[in-house]
Amino acid sequence: MRDVVIAGVGIHPFGRFDYGYRELGAYAAEDCLRDAGLTADEVDLVLVANVGAEMAKGHNVVNRLRHTGKPIVNVEAACASSGSALALGAALISSGAHRSVLCIGVEKAPRGFIGASGFETWQIETGLGVNPLYFAIQAGELLRDTEATEADLAEVSVKNHRHAVHNPNAMYRKEISREEVLESREVCPPLRLLLLCAPNEGAAAALLMHSDEARRRGITHPVRLTAAALVSRGPDDWFVPAPAFPVDRTSLSERAAQLAYEQAGIGPADVDIVECQDTDAASELLAYRELGLCAPGEEAALLRSGDTALGGRRPVNVSGGLLSKGEPLGASGLGQVHELVTQLRGHAGARQVEGARVGLGHVMGAGHNSCVVVVQR
């Protein structure tokens, strides 16, 4: 994909706050517009990613900024909502329909289990309509089929929490020990509380622009968005909320990653830094395989090598990941993009990945959808 640049990024920290989603979203949008040096009325289109708010939510967010008269479209695809907004925005710019698209992701998730994930009534009533159950099944398979152990799962969480100490936008900024993780409350074995991310609140934004427009405006060193690949359920995929899957099932994330690599004209070896959907610790290890960072079965070896930690060859989730930032569903993908762009600009401070030129972001959502984006300097 050519001609699409990220002219600005913005974020409201992830956590718990005493104001609403409209304020969170408007904050991130204004932060982004300032970064790009634009005002809201100069944007051709606003896409707002959100899962759980109300009708016309994006309109309510933008109303906090300016009454521009320009189109506003709400985008929802569970945890891949902001990835979907990015893919849509990029396509509209590539096609020439718009010169600039502001993508805002925002969420104010209630505490506790995420409800309304698309389960049928019979699943909910019989206790099968619960997301961590699905992640626990994947984790169980990973422990059964590969060398990965529960200690490796804990190490993913330890690593991401260590990274988050340096990220002012993360909810949990305290190091935790392997013992603390392994002694935390069991939720769905083998997953424990500190092996799972917490749904929370936050917002992030990115201003997409045609490269000609960026040049005209004197945005001299923009980060390029070279891939935004979006896939939904194929014949042999499985994810929340499906009650059954084929014995030889396939991976949505793997397909999204392959498509993204094709769009960007790169391979996994070219990637310097990754932000992936660590909904739970096992999901991060699975992503190593699905994103092509290692061969199947070598997930634990890659983790143990230190390559995916800050200072390693190809760090994963230096932002702290969802395990430390928490997961504001509609904002998580744009939060990844904020981190990747900050890294590629060399502005990440103590968590800076030196010389990062190619970044990859990955989200995966209920209802079977996955989005992989590639940003390049």
Partner 1 sequence: MTSLEPADLLAWPELFLTAEPGAPTALLAGGCTGCRRTAFPRAARCPACGAATRPTELRGPAVLDTCTAVLSTPPGALVEAPYEVGVARFPAARICVIGLLTERIEPGTMVDVVVHEPYPGGRTFGFRPVGAADRDLAPGPRTTPSAERLL
Q: Which stretch binds partner 1 (CB under 8 A): 93-101, 132-140, 176-184, 202-210?
A: 132-140
Q: Is 102 helix (H, G, I), strand (E, B) or coil?
A: strand
The smaller minimum CB distance to partner 1, of residues 265 and 297, is found at 297
Which of 69, 95, 96, 127 binds partner 1 (CB under 8 A)? It is: 127
What is the amino acid identity at position 257?
Answer: A
**111 binds partner 1, rule: CB under 8 A:** no
Of 144-183, binders to partner 1 (CB under 8 A) are: 144
DSSP code of residue 120: -
Strand extents, DSSP E, 268-336: 273-275
Of 229-248, binders to partner 1 (CB under 8 A) are: 235-236, 243-248
Number of residues that bind partner 1 (CB under 8 A): 33
DSSP code of residue 279: S
What is the amino acid identity at position 30?
Answer: E
**126 binds partner 1, rule: CB under 8 A:** yes
Q: What are phi and psi of 79, to 5 degrees?
A: -70, -10
Largest Cα separation within the chain, whole Å, is 59
**141 binds partner 1, rule: CB under 8 A:** yes
Which of 125, 175, 179, 212 binds partner 1 (CB under 8 A)? It is: 125
The smaller minimum CB distance to partner 1, of residues 112 and 218, is found at 112
Give the residue among 292, 290, 270, 273 at the shortest CA–CA distance from 282.
290
Give the integer Cα–Cα distance in Å for 127 and 125.
5
Which of 113, 149, 174, 306 binds partner 1 (CB under 8 A)? It is: 113
Torsion of Cα atoms, 273 then 374 then 282 then 113, to 10°: 120
Q: Which residue in the list 79, 103, 188, 294 is annotated as catalytic?
A: 79
- Taking the complex as a whole, how short is the minimal distance between the CB of residue 78 and partner 1, in angstroms? 17
- Taking the complex as a whole, how short is the minimal distance between the CB of residue 135 and partner 1, in angstroms? 9
Q: Is 12 helix (H, G, I), strand (E, B) or coil?
A: strand
Q: Which stretch binds partner 1 (CB under 8 A): 129-137, 197-205, 264-272, 307-315?
A: 129-137
Instruction: Provide the phi-psi class of 367: left if phi over 0, else alpha when psi is between -120 and 50, else beta.
Output: left
Is the peptide bond preceding residue 190 cis, with omega within 30 degrees of 0?
Answer: yes
> CA triplet 103, 107, 109: central angle to 5 degrees?
165
Which of 55, 67, 95, 112 binds partner 1 (CB under 8 A)? It is: 112
What is the amino acid identity at position 356?
Answer: A
**Beta strand 45-49 pairing with 100-108:** parallel
Q: Which residue has the tokens 């982004």?
A: 32
Of 191-230, binders to partner 1 (CB under 8 A) are: 191
Q: Which stretch binds partner 1 (CB under 8 A): 42-50, 93-101, 187-195, 344-352?
A: 187-195
Give the integer Cα–Cα distance in Å for 147 and 329.
31
- Taking the complex as a whole, how short is the minimal distance between the CB of residue 243 and partner 1, in angstroms? 5
Which of 41, 147, 186, 262 binds partner 1 (CB under 8 A)? It is: 186
**19 binds partner 1, rule: CB under 8 A:** no
Which of 73, 91, 137, 266 binds partner 1 (CB under 8 A)? It is: 137
371 belongs to the catalytic site? no
The catalytic site residues sit at 79
Binding site for partner 1 (CB under 8 A): 112-113, 115, 120, 122, 124-130, 133, 136-137, 140-141, 144, 185-191, 235-236, 243-248
